[in-house]
Structure 1
Amino acid sequence: MSEHHSAAEGHEHGDHAGLTKGKIWQVFGILLLITVIEFIIALYVIPHGMMTQKVGNYIYIALTLLKAFYIVAYFMHLKFEKLGLQLCLTVSFIFIIYFIVLMLIEGSFLNIHMLHNS
């Protein structure tokens, strides 16, 4: 029984060999740094006129997507999955973002168009 248990443990650690405690803390540090940058932009840069709200929003979106990448890749173990699954999820994610952008553009067009007609 103990031989089977140790063999299963070795296999489990082999699948996720790249995810060590040190790597978890490194990813946590990166996520913390990104969050601190977001707070600095929100509390200091934008209110003091160093950046417009529109540019700040684009930076927030980019930083949030970067945080989402790290969370999905390391804490949800996608980085350790097969390439086919990674590509399938990545392509789906790109299409979702594409459709969201299209809806935002189309929604803005409709609102502007309605304001000019009235």
Structure 2
Amino acid sequence: MSSETTTVHAAGAEHGEHEGMTKKRILKIFYILTAITCVEFFIALWLGPHLQLSSQVVNPAYIILTLLKAYFIVAFFMHLKFEKVGLALAIIVPILFIIGLILVLTNESHYWIGLRHI
């Protein structure tokens, strides 16, 4: 009798873990990601060449749109939005440190490249 209770409990826990993702929600997120990608292509193929936008305008737009797409992918398709806060922080905090390290190294690389030209 106890094995039946355990089996039912395990099956219920498995269902409750991903109950937030329905076919309708998956399609909604897919369309959002498609729209963001279309905006990126619009910027790259039409706004950039026709309006002669500088990289100081275009690059931050790409970065913001890419981070937005990354949020939707990680939150919904990797089910991080439905996890507990501790697990989410255990994944997000190291990624933020890695991004900070990349930014610092990029800044330092400009310094070292500038020394070669002297």
Q: If the length of structure 2 is used for normalisation, what is the TM-score?
A: 0.86
- Residue range with higher mean Cα deviation, 37-46 or 65-74: 65-74
Q: Does 1:20 align with 2:1?
A: no
1:108 partner letter: H
Question: Pairwise mapping of residues 73-92 of structure 1 onto structure 2 (< 5 A)?
Answer: 73-92=75-94
Q: Partners of 1:31 and 1:9 in 2: how far apart?
A: 32
Question: Cα offset for 1:81?
Answer: 1.2
1:109 to 86, 91, 111: 111
Question: Cα offset for 1:10?
Answer: 3.7
- The alignment yields a C-alpha RMSD, in angstroms, of 2.1
Question: Pairwise mapping of residues 37-116 of structure 1 onto structure 2 (< 5 A)?
Answer: 37-49=39-51, 51-115=53-117
1:84 partner letter: G
Q: If the length of structure 1 is used for normalisation, what is the TM-score?
A: 0.86
Runs of 4+ in 1 over 2 A off after TM superposition: 3-13
Q: C-alpha offsets along residues 32-65 of structure 1, whole Å, 9 cap, x if unaligned?
A: 0100000000000010125212321111111111
Q: C-alpha offsets along residues 10-47 of structure 1, whole Å, 9 cap, x if unaligned?
A: 43221111111111111111100100000000000010
* Percentage of identical aligned residues: 46
SS of match in other structure, 2:49: coil
